[in-house]
Structure 1
Amino acid sequence: MRVFCAVFALGLRRHSTYRAATLSAIVVNCVFGVVNALVLLAVFDARPRINGYTAADAVTQVFVAQALIGVTAIFGPPLDVGGRVRDGSVAADLLRPVDPLLWWLAQDLGRAVFGLLVRSVPTFASGAVLFALPLPADPLRWAVLPASAVLAALVGFGLRHLYALSAFWLGDSRGVESVGWLLGPFCSGMLLPLTLFPDAAAAVLRLLPWAALVQIPAEVFLGRTGTAVGLLHQALWAAALLVLGAVLGARARRRVVVQGG
């Protein structure tokens, strides 16, 4: 456990080093949040309520989504695993007397917690100020928001870990990761709330793991879904992806061949 705490702290410290990049990311999240919110306000100006969502709900989800970008890494960065498979340095990772999955998870959770504390809060606060968002009065919804964000980070790691593992079979995970960066924002409710999709499409997208990254946390915060139901949805996907990653990781390690001997 001490090893994983140290790796977690390493991930936290590593990402806290790039202060200018963090500030730039916050500005970008705020700007894109404003642009997306204005587009949705124009849509709701023509139709005040869509499948139960109001303009205020949609704009709130926009800034919840922007706040979760740094937590879930839905646009990247990818895990280092794929690159380390390409250059053979993954062999050194596999020699450590710890489970590689837990090592990479601890490191990535450090990144996610830094993003939650330093990047998410000012991003959401900017939206709340600029658009006078109707914030929930129920303290329970505020209390479960960090738990939902952590579960979203676990789902995000599980997906990125699976993308990276493809390098063991394909030799390069960048193609799979590129597809993931395209699918994730579309299927998660990041670009457009899933509620605004046709009912059949929205029902299918809600069953996919990407919904646990944005749509479910946003609905928990908005009170559009039960707190226990939403957290359970996220927890089940997080557990399923981590178990699948562990199984595929064990198979991948049996395929390792380091070039040069």
Structure 2
Amino acid sequence: MYATLFVLGFRRFSAYRTAAIAGAITNCVFGLIRSAVLIAVVGTAGGALAGYDRLTAATYVWLGQALVASVNLFTWDELARRIRTGDIAVDLARPADPMLSYLAADLGRAAFTLLPRGLPQLAIGALVTGVALPRTAAPYALGLASVALATAVSFACRWLVNLSAFWLLDLRGPMTLYLVLSNVLCGLVVPVHWFPGWLAAIAAATPFPSMLQAPIDVLMGRSGWQTLAVQALWLAGLLAAGRAGFALGARRLVIQGG
């Protein structure tokens, strides 16, 4: 059943091919801007900064642009809207775990999005700035698993934010706060390794680095199994919290009309 939901999630988003192409173009433009900025920062620092030189800094940017849509570092409110309208009652009546059902569909979305909005970015990055990627297969095998974990961690975080719809009428505040914190602490703006010590400690205490910094480190060969273990631990904790929060909210939910 969950495999079917994965396939349906893939097919659902593959229907919007023009939007995917437009998103890929936008990602490339931001990749050019961000790579220029990070290369300039490394040059100002003397050619190396926290283990990054100009080529690896550019590689970091292009890998981030390749993953940003698949991992989905933005907001998602489908669950919140279903809670608000009462359509969540349909999910509660289905013979499937609502959280795992949405997770399976989201992984299908990510699998499709990686094709038009992931691989082309790396190709353009290789042509424009060059990229420094491993020449062995192990980092890519581990990296694929890390990307899957990153996507699941991102979903679990977005699920928790959406659960606040059980108690709040307006989610714009929580979603905006989540968007700002996650985009900064995951390493989208600059690598987490460039953070000052106090900010790096704050980031390490959150699941956000597991959403972007971790898979990039694995794909670049900077880390391995230990990073995947950290991601898996965060995922287990977030899913447990998501399940408990959903059960708590469902107990107080009232659907008008029965």
TM-score for both structures, normalised by structure 1: 0.94
Q: Counterparts of 1:19 and 1:242 in 2: how far apart (Å)?
A: 31
Structure 2 CA distance for partners of 1:32 and 1:180, relative to 1, 3 Å = same
Counterpart-to-counterpart distance in 1, 2:71 and 2:149:
9
Q: Following the alignment from structure 1 to structure 2, what is the Cα–Cα distance between the partners of residues 224 and 107?
A: 30
Q: How many Å apart are 1:260 and its aligned residue?
A: 4.7
2:248 counterpart residue number: 251
Map of 2:148 onto structure 1: 150
Q: Does 1:74 align with 2:73?
A: yes
Give the corresponding residue for 1:229.
226
Equivalent positions of 1:89-238 (< 5 A) are: 89-225=87-223, 227-238=224-235
Q: Distance in 2 between matches of 1:174 and 1:29?
A: 25
- Whether contact under 8 Å (1:71, 1:152) holds in the other structure is no
Q: Give how far 1:79 is off.
A: 4.2
For 1:241 and 1:87, the matched residues in 2 are separated by 25
Once the two structures are aligned, what percentage of the paired residues are identical?
Answer: 40
Distance (whole Å) between structure 2 residues aligned to residue 33 and residue 168 of structure 1? 38
Structure 2 CA distance, aligned partners of 1:255 and 1:172?
A: 18
Deviations 1:203-258 (A, max 9, x none): 32133101001111111222323x01111111111111111101111111101112
Alignment-derived partner of residue 54 in structure 1: 53
8 Å CA contact retained: 2:80, 2:162:
yes
Q: SS at the partner of 1:166?
A: helix
Q: CA deviation at 1:108?
A: 1.0
The unaligned stretches of length 5 or more in structure 1 are: none
241-250 or 196-205: which moved more?
A: 196-205
Number of residues paired by the alignment? 257
After TM superposition, the score normalised by the length of structure 2 is 0.95
Compute the displacement of 1:98 (Å). 1.1
Q: How far apart are the structure 2 equivalents of 1:208 and 1:18? A: 33
Give the letter for the 2:66 counterpart: A
Segments of structure 2 that go 5 or more residues without pairing to the other structure are: none
Residues 92-140 of structure 1, C-alpha deviations (whole Å, 9 max, x = no match): 1111111111111111111111112332111222112211112212221
User: What secondary structure sits across from 2:131 in the alignment?
Assistant: coil
Residue 133 of structure 1 aligns to a residue whose secondary structure is: coil
Offset at 1:146?
1.1
SS in 2 for 1:170: coil
In 1, Cα distance between equivalents of 2:123 and 2:236: 31
Q: What SS does structure 1 have at the residue aligned with 2:95?
A: coil
What is the DSSP-based 3-state SS (H/G/I as helix, E as strand, rest coil) of the residue aligned with 1:257? coil
Structure 1's 207 and 129: CA in aligned 2 closer, same or farther, altered over 3 A? Answer: farther
> How many Å separate the matches in 2 of 1:207 and 1:81?
26
Give deviations 1:32-68, integer Å, cap 9, x for gaps: 0110000111111111112222222221111111111
The CA RMSD over aligned residues, in Å, is 1.4
